[in-house]
Amino acid sequence: MKRLIPTAVITVTIAFLCVFGYKMTERICNTVLSDLEECRSTYKSGDIEAAIKLAEKFEDKWLNEQKPRLATFANHGFLDEITVTNARLTAFCRMDEAPEFYAECYAIEATVKQILEESRLHSESFY
Amino acid sequence: MITTVIRTAILYFLVTVGIRLMGKRQIGDMQPNELVVTLLISEIAAIPLQDTNQPILNGAAAIFILVVLEIIVSVLAMKSFFVRKIISGKSVVIIKNGVIDQQAMRDVRMTVLDLVELLRGQEVFNLSDVAFAVLEVNGDLSVLLKGDAKPVTAKDINLKPDDEGLPLPVISDSKIVDESLKALQTDRSSLGKILKKNSLTVEDVFLMMLDRYGNFSVVKKEKNR
């Protein structure tokens, strides 16, 4: 009994962290994807100034809010990858280099989807 | 660098708490499942240390899941003989009525040399002295000697030695251990009287063992060189 109480507490804590971690990762990743899409569509519409502002805001939000929160649950390698790609994205937006800008958008999208995929529970995870 | 230092400290405390929760056991006394969990914990703890890309929470969760499973399995094993048999196996009688059970030895893949070595570990050098030998689940060999090979006990020669109380350390490195005094149902003033009677002070004593009958032994503290 002496050990069963801490065991129960640990089990509940881990279960809570699993659910909380999954929900938080999903929410942040979806926000990142929608922010990225907004930036991409603004750039596509030809409003470069607005796209630069969005890219800067996106980078700032990623560095100060989203990345630190995701770091508790997601692989730091992916997060660093997004940080570096994000910096290039803003630079390409400023230089109006469309192919490179879109390539960086796809790279961020792919990495975010990879983070989401890793946090999800599916049969592939077991083998 | 600082990340590694902090992560190492965090994991050290987590592993210590985990092992403490599992309970006290020497490596040699572990059941097979406990040994597996201990090995796995040490391996898992190393992953977030080596790979700083891994969130420390992943390692901590894995460690604590193993601890939780280990505690659940040991509780089940305590309650159910069947579970105990599945998880830990069962002891095997290797020598029965002085006769080696060769089939049992083959079953546990034990050679005669292994058996002789284990017997020597039990201070038995003559196989013919053994009535029963049981290989326990943790790999130890328990031996029951034949009647004529058993050492003489006080009971055999009708002696009734005095009951010995358990000596406890009441002073350790010049500090009074109140827990021991409480267990011996005595107090600091009684201890002080014993010390005074023997011209000692608490500061003079490195170690003092006392039992409930008032018997004590003292190791004096060496003067600083």
Q: Any chain A CB within 8 A of the CB of B71?
A: yes
**How far is it, in rounded angstroms, from Cα B139 to Cα B34?**
14
Q: What gap in Å lies between CA B92 and CA B78, rounded to an integer?
A: 20
The answer to whether B16 faces chain A, any CB pair under 8 Å, is no
Helix (H, G, I), strand (E, B) or coil at B40: helix
Which residue in the set A4, A6, A71 is minimally distant from B75, CB to CB? Answer: A4
B contact test, residue of A2, A3, A76 with most B CBs within 10 A: A3
**Residue B53: band (very low, low, confident or very high) from pLDDT cuts 50, 70, 90:** confident
Mean pLDDT, range B199-212, rounded to an integer: 90
A76: contact with B, CB 8 A cutoff: yes
How many CB atoms are closer than 10 A to CB B140? 15
CB contact under 8 A, B71 and A3: yes
At residue B2, the 3 state secondary structure works out as helix
Count how many Cα atoms sit within 13 Å of the Cα of residue A12 in the half-sphere of its side chain. Answer: 6
pLDDT for the residue numbered A63:
92
Residue A94 exposed, middle or buried by CB count within 10 Å (0-12, 13-18, 19+)? middle
Residue B181: predicted pLDDT: 92
| pLDDT above 90: residue A78 | yes
Q: Cα–Cα distance between B100 and B118 in angstroms, integer?
A: 14
Residue B183 near chain A (CB below 8 Å) = no
CB-CB contact of A60 with A39 (8 Å): no
What does the alpha-carbon distance between residue B90 and residue B3 come to, in Å, rounded to a whole number? 46
* Least confident span in B22-31, B112-121, B146-155: B22-31
SS3 state at B176: strand
Confidence of residue B219 (pLDDT cuts 50, 70, 90): very high
Interface test with A, best of B58, B69, B70, B76 (most A CBs within 10 A): B58
Cβ atoms of A101 and A89 closer than 8 Å: yes
Contact B75 A14 (CB under 8 A): no
CB contact under 8 A, B68 and A7: yes
Closest CA to A119 of A80, A74, A86: A74
Whether residue A75 and residue B54 make contact (CB cut-off 8 A), yes or no, is yes
Flag whether pLDDT at B78 surpasses 60.
yes
Write down the residue that tokens 């006392």 correspond to: B210
Chain A residues within 8 A of B71 when measuring between CB atoms: 3-4, 7
